[in-house]
Amino acid sequence: MRQHTSDIGEVPIGLGEEISGVIRRAVGTRSRRWLLAITLLLGLTAAAAVAAGLPSAERTLATLAQAVQLLLSVMVPFSGVLLAHDLRRAPRTARIAPTLLGAVLLAAVIGAFGFLACAAALALASSTAPAAWDHAVAVAAGGVLVQVLAQLVGTGLGLLLRRPVIACLATIALPLGLWYALGRVDALSPAQAWLTPFASAQNLLSGQMSAVMWAQWLVVLTLWGRALNAAGLARLSPRTPAPNPWTTES
């Protein structure tokens, strides 16, 4: 538990309050609120457009989720980059875990929102597909996991790269670039599912994960989530002390 200094003395700050502070920072400026609004609007628009564009016999929850959640996963890492960039301006005593947990929580909420948008679009458009609503729980969970990994890619690259704009571009270019490069070589294309978030996300959003697919997901999570953020934290330390933007003085 951290100690927060104010005019009335030392006030203890718990992990939950720190995570709440991270969420507030994620929407704490006009540009960050616009980023979140655009992300959610894109999800709604994509759900409606895909549902309207597909023949009734091809409209399924999994099909909609594939399009909507993959689109959201392009935008979600940007907030992770910005939250990680906040750490660069924090003093040495600032804890990193609340930032990562808050970023993951925000991503999970966006993933749940994407699922609800898909479900609403499918209900309004109707479907004659015999398995339109099959694996709904698995598709919902898959969407959340997709956004969580996307966010961890954002925080990891945000910690590794000093310039937020470059880090945001890297969240798109690096995962998709590796996926494309592996796919260009027949002998390496099976590695896509083991090494790239995009291929793993497609499996998760199908709602039909096998034991091998779960193993692939864990490998991808380790590489792009755990290892990338660990490298970023190593790159960040030691940090230069600066005024702490996470605290307020009463």
Structure confidence by residue, pLDDT tens digits, 153-202? 999 999 999 899 999 999 999 999 999 999 999 999 999 999 999 999 99
What is d(CA 160, CA 235) in angstroms, rounded to the nearest whole number? 6
Whether 249 is in a domain gets the answer no
Tell me the CA end-to-end span of the chain in Å, nearest whole number: 19
Whether 248 is in a domain gets the answer no
Whether 242 is in a domain gets the answer no
The encoded tokens of residue 199 equal 């291929």
Q: Which domain, by its residues, includes 115?
A: 2-236
Kindly tell me if the per-residue pLDDT of 92 is higher than 90.
no
Nearest CA among 200, 204, 190 for reference residue 220: 200
Residue 91: count other Cβ atoms within 10 Å of its Cβ: 14
Q: Where are the alpha helices (DSSP H) in 27-135?
A: 30-53, 61-88, 97-125
Whether 250 is in a domain gets the answer no
Whether 244 is in a domain gets the answer no
pLDDT score of 49: 96
Contacts of residue 199, defined as CB under 8 A and 6 or more positions apart, other chains included, come to 179, 192, 193, 216
Q: What is the pLDDT of residues 74-89, one digit of tens each?
A: 999 999 999 999 887 7
Confirm if 180 and 133 have CB atoms less than 8 A apart. no
Whether 32 is in a domain gets the answer yes
Whether 208 is in a domain gets the answer yes
pTM, two decimal places: 0.87
What is d(CA 110, CA 131) in angstroms, rounded to the nearest whole number? 25
pLDDT score of 13: 61
Confirm if 203 and 193 have CB atoms less than 8 A apart. yes
- Looking at every residue in the chain, the average pLDDT score rounds to 88
Q: Which residue in this structure is represented by tokens 């996963």? A: 73
Confirm if 18 and 98 have CB atoms less than 8 A apart. yes
Whether 109 is in a domain gets the answer yes
pLDDT score of 237: 67
Number of independent structural domains in the chain = 1
Kindly tell me if the per-residue pLDDT of 239 is higher than 90.
no
